[in-house]
Amino acid sequence: MKTAEGEARRALARLRRSVLKSERELEALRDALEHAEGEDFPADEYERVQGRFESVHDWLNAEEMRLRAKLLRAGGLEPGRIGRSP
């Protein structure tokens, strides 16, 4: 049986992979158009879109930390207190 937490972790991982793939596709598009259009290429617009991807990555990281902390608390552990013994 699948748990809601497990489904959430998998969905988060799928979304992260999707965003990474979208970034690669944007870079491929940028390279092709930059080569084809030369000076007419709207580089500023592509930089702005890349910045949005960075915002999505920041959100994904925060959501992953939030989910991890929630799972630890649900298991009776305190987030930030988990570590490996030397």
What predicted TM-score, i.e. pTM, was given to this entire model? Answer: 0.75
- pLDDT tens for 45-63 read 999 999 999 999 999 999 9
- pLDDT tens for 11-35 read 999 999 999 999 999 999 999 999 9
Domain boundaries, the chain: 4-72
- pLDDT tens for 61-86 read 999 999 888 877 776 766 666 555 55
Phi, psi at 9, each rounded to 5°:
-65, -45
Structure tokens at 76: 């009776």
Helices (H) and strands (E) in the chain, counts: 2, 0
Structure tokens at 47: 């930089």
Q: What pLDDT is stored for residue 2 in this prediction?
A: 76
User: From CA 48, how far away is CA 69, in angstroms rounded?
Assistant: 32
